[in-house]
């Protein structure tokens, strides 16, 4: 039992946690062992066999303790030394240590006898004894380096700053105002049935006119090809690449030539389809992809055949030449599934990853489609960068705020190309609470923390770089995942799971470094059950917290005044997982949850409505006391439906927040009541498909909307 407990600790499987009520909850031993089954899936491990457990412990010890350096040494810029793991039989043998920067220049070189260095630790592995010695290095700038030992052994080095990137607006603590959107939900007369980067460009210009500093986006990650079923931005195929459905086709240089290549009848059919897609209240992802891909395909061939687009073709060639293997693999998987069954394509793709000849054959067979998908990625990266550059030019202090989802679908390219890193038999979720008494299973395979360390955190670094590139800030969804994730075991509900811990200090250090290198501020979505001292660690690292009006309370039904919100935070009224302001006031969210049988266990809709009435009365008292309550409402009952006067008054009151960032959802400016997502539902409600009720140009043709945004942004900037 002692050795099995050692193995559980080694893998970070927690024995307890504090639940949403602050109560201590012990995790049954068998539940913890069930997660070991998921980690060692396919190995048929007998966890009752002491010899097997000893072998596993020795194998892990060999992987971590028998090497002179780990794959990646992570150090602070104020503690410049590396720890060498020296076999005591070699303790008196000189070591030549060189450090080379990423341009190939030698920046440090030293010979030293390890026995003369400070000893900071000891360990033994299978009767081999090691001494850990601290090797001081010279002052070097933050960044990545290669360490070379005795001209033979190589390892990576990350020198990390003490905090994340802190832009001028954070240093000065000047209050910022932002809008939060679900990009796909934007309506316009020019898009192809889904919000795109052309719509985002329009939005940047309109918001900049009103003094707004930022636009918070949903995750833009590449989705699975089978869009009839899989279109949640939080269950993507690959978080390293962009969903090409966000491409504004009409803004591409090759669009006119491609449009001319359609026959008159094709063009008429396309236009009729586009009219239908634009006018629908919900997105038909599969149809949008079908229509948009036809244009992308024709634009690709227009680029190849154009004699006047040679410069752009050379730029595309350069993009392809610089593409890493993961982008090529992502494009191959999409190409394999383009005309056929996705499950079959995944099976073929997985086989090819372990068979170089098959992989080469599939690449050659699908080279044209692969290039078209590469072309689509080139275009969306280009347009995304153009939008952020425009935001900066228009004076937006922050511009775009990207969103990094907590995981990826197990059938997507991110997981399939990292099959030893992800534990596909387990799933990320949440422990039991009052809404979900058996917990939540989000269906996303978690990363194995030990494998993450063994691979030098490369995948985590890739994710950060891909999502920090050319944006003003990055929001990290469920930021507690940096330190722990609730793992759900295979074949059981989430309440049979446990928390698994990650190497938080190292992960946070890399977050600081990538934030600095990419000049990108960090926002952590820290809603829910938060570990002790976690928020303090993020604050010390200059990671902004997240505050939502609905959850900021000083009592059960007493709202905290926005002036008392945490300063170093992003404050908002609501987000994609909770009701819009009009829906909350009207109680439409309660009615909908009742209809969907999604009311938390032990509660009734009538009970929730009574609580809501108390909450509304408390909010009104705040509005009256602060002189925000609209005069038109003085004779109204609290049962009256929300109108623009009330909603805009609540927004103005909430905008008093002392938090450096304040953002509101575009839906609240339109008094929308239908949610974009109802947590805990799948087929019961059309999550992630609902569009805005108005076209963008109609929204900003309304003087009252422009006046509200200008008033809020001006008042916050000057407060």
Q: Which residues of 432-452 are buried (b: 16+ CB within 10 A; e: fewer)?
A: beebbeebbbbebbbbbbbbb
- In a domain? residue 503: no
Closest CA to 147 of 139, 138, 156: 156
pLDDT digits (tens, 9 = 90+) for 338-377: 988 899 999 999 999 999 999 999 999 999 999 999 999 9
Chain centroid to CA 33: how far? 29
pLDDT for 43 equals 81
How far lies 650's CA from each of 261, 616, 624, in Å?
A: 52, 11, 11
Q: Which residues make beta-bridge pairs with 102?
A: none
Residue 136 lies in a domain: yes
Domain span at residue 88 reads 78-160
* Spatial separation of the C-alpha atoms in residues 513 and 474, rounded to whole Å: 14
3-state secondary structure of 46: coil
Edge to edge, the sheet with strand 521-524 lists 521-524, 473-476, 399-404, 214-216, 176-180, 661-665, 569-572, 545-548
pLDDT on residue 309 = 77
Contacts for 66 with CB less than 8 Å, ≥ 6 apart: 85, 125, 128, 130
Q: Which two tokens stand for residue 277?
A: 């897609």
Query: Residue written as tokens 């341009």?
Result: 103
Strands, E assignment, 202-305:
214-216, 221-222, 238-242
In a domain, 716, yes or no: no
Phi-psi region of 405 (alpha: psi -120 to 50; beta: other; left: phi over 0): beta
Once rounded to an integer, what is the mean pLDDT over residues 258-277? 92
Closest CA to 312 of 300, 297, 324: 300
Q: Is the pLDDT of residue 429 over 90?
A: yes
Q: Which among 667, 665, 663 is positioned nearest to 690, based on CA atoms?
A: 667
Would you say residue 694 lies in a domain? no
Nearest-CA neighbor of 547 among 662, 398, 406? 662
At residue 310 the predicted structure's pLDDT band, cuts being 50, 70 and 90, is: confident
Give whole-number Cα distances, 592 to 587, 683, 716, in Å.
9, 14, 35
pLDDT at 308 over 80: no
Check residue 489 and report its DSSP letter. Answer: P
Phi, psi values for residue 245, rounded to 5°: -65, -15
DSSP string, 124-186: EETTEEEEEEEEE-----SEEEEEEETTTEEEEEEEE-SS----HHHHTT--EEEEE--GGG-
Structure tokens at 313: 């073709």
User: What does the pLDDT read at residue 696?
Assistant: 97
Q: Count of alpha carbons within 13 Å of 266, Cβ hemisphere only? A: 10
- Domain membership flag for residue 679: no
User: What is the pTM (predicted TM-score) of this model?
Assistant: 0.96
In a domain, 121, yes or no: yes
Burial class from Cβ neighbours inside 10 Å (0-12, 13-18, 19+) for residue 80 reads middle
In a domain, 144, yes or no: yes
698 falls within a domain: no
> Has residue 496 got a pLDDT over 80?
yes
Please answer whether residues 95 and 157 qualify as being in contact, where contact means their C-beta atoms are separated by less than 8 angstroms: no
Q: How confident is the model at residue 48 (pLDDT cuts 50, 70, 90)?
A: confident
Q: What percentage of residues in the chain have a pLDDT greater than 70?
A: 100
Residue with tokens 């440090």: 108
Mean pLDDT, the chain, whole residue set: 95
470: left (phi > 0), else alpha (psi -120 to 50), else beta?
left
Beta-carbon contacts of 357 under 8 Å, excluding residues fewer than 6 positions away, are none
Share of residues in the chain with pLDDT > 90 (%):
87
Q: Which contacts (CB < 8 Å, 24+ apart) does range 312-315 have? A: 312/253, 312/254, 315/378
Position of tokens 């049962």? Answer: 639
Would you place residue 564 in the very low, low, confident or very high pLDDT band (cuts 50, 70, 90)? very high
Q: Which residues contact 320 (CB under 8 A, 6 or more apart)?
A: 371, 374, 378
CA distances in angstroms from 625 to 449, 630, 712, listed in the order given? 51, 12, 19
Give me the residues paired with residue 156 across strands.
Answer: 72, 146
Do the beta carbons of residue 227 and residue 286 sit within 8 Å?
Answer: yes
CATH number, domain with residue 128: 2.60.40
Rg (CA), the chain: 27
pLDDT score for 717: 95
Q: Number of folded domains in the chain?
A: 1
Q: Looking at residue 1, what is its pLDDT?
A: 59
């Amino acid at each position: 039992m002692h050795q099995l407990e050692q193995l559980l600790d080694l893998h970070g499987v927690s024995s307890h946690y504090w639940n949403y009520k602050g109560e201590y909850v012990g995790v049954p031993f068998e539940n913890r062992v069930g997660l070991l089954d998921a980690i060692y899936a396919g190995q048929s491990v007998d966890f009752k066999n002491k010899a097997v457990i000893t072998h596993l412990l020795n194998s892990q010890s060999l992987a971590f303790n028998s090497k002179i350096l780990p794959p990646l040494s992570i150090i602070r810029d104020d503690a410049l030394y590396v720890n060498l793991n020296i076999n005591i039989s070699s303790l008196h043998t000189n070591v030549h240590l060189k450090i080379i920067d990423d341009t190939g220049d030698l920046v440090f070189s030293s010979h030293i006898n390890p026995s003369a260095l400070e000893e900071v630790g000891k360990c033994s592995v299978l009767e081999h004894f090691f001494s850990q010695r601290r090797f001081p290095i010279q002052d070097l700038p933050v960044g990545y380096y290669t360490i070379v030992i005795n001209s033979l052994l190589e390892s990576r080095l990350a020198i990390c700053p003490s905090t994340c990137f802190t832009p001028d607006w954070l240093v000065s603590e000047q209050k910022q105002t932002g809008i939060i959107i679900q990009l796909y939900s934007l309506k316009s007369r020019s898009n192809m049935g889904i919000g795109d980067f052309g719509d985002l460009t329009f939005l940047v210009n309109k918001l900049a006119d009103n003094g707004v500093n930022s636009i918070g986006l949903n995750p833009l990650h590449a989705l699975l090809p089978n869009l009839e079923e899989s279109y949640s931005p939080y269950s993507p195929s690959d978080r390293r690449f962009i969903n090409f459905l966000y491409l504004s086709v009409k803004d591409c240089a090759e669009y006119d030539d491609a449009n001319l290549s359609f026959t008159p009848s094709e063009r008429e059919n396309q236009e009729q389809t586009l009219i239908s897609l634009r006018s629908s209240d919900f997105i038909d992802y599969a149809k949008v992809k079908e229509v948009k891909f036809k244009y992308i395909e024709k634009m690709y061939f227009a680029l190849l055949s154009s004699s006047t687009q040679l410069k752009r073709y050379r730029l595309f060639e350069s993009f392809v030449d610089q593409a890493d293997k993961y982008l090529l693999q992502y494009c191959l998987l999409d190409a394999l599934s383009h005309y056929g069954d996705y499950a079959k394509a995944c099976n073929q793709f997985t086989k090819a990853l372990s068979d170089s000849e098959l992989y080469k054959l599939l690449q050659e067979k699908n080279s044209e489609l692969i290039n078209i998908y590469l072309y689509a990625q080139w275009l969306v990266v280009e347009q995304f960068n153009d939008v952020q550059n425009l935001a900066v030019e228009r004076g937006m202090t922050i511009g775009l705020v990207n969103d990094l989802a907590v995981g990826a679908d197990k059938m997507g390219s991110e997981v399939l190309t990292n099959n030893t890193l992800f534990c596909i038999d387990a799933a990320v979720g949440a422990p039991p609470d009052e809404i979900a008494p058996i917990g939540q299973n989000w269906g996303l395979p978690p990363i194995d923390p030990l494998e993450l360390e063994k691979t030098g955190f490369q995948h985590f670094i890739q994710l950060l770089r891909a999502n920090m590139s050319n944006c003003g800030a990055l929001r990290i969804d469920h930021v507690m995942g940096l330190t722990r994730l609730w793992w759900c075991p295979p074949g059981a509900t989430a309440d049979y799971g446990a928390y698994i811990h990650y190497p938080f200090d190292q992960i946070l250090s890399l977050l600081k470094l990538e934030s600095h290198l990419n000049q990108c501020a960090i926002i952590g979505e820290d809603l829910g059950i938060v570990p002790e001292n976690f928020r303090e660690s993020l604050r010390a690292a200059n990671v902004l917290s997240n505050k939502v009006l609905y959850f900021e309370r000083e009592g059960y039904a007493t709202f905290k005044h926005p002036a008392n919100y945490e300063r170093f935070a992003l404050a908002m009224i609501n987000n994609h997982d909770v009701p819009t302001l009009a829906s909350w006031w009207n109680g439409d969210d309660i009615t909908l949850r009742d209809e969907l049988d999604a009311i938390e266990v032990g509660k009734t809709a009538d009970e929730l409505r009574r609580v809501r009435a108390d909450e509304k009365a408390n909010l009104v008292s705040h509005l009256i006391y602060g002189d925000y309550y609209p005069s038109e409402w003085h004779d109204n009952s609290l049962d009256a439906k929300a109108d623009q006067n009330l909603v805009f008054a609540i927004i103005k009151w909430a905008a008093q927040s002392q938090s450096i960032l304040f953002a509101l959802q575009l839906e609240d400016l339109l008094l929308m009541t239908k949610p974009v997502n109802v947590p805990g539902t799948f087929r019961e409600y059309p999550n992630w498909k609902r569009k805005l009720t108005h076209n963008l140009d109609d929204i900003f043709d309304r003087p009252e909307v422009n006046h509200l945004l200008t008033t809020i942004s001006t008042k916050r900037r000057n407060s």
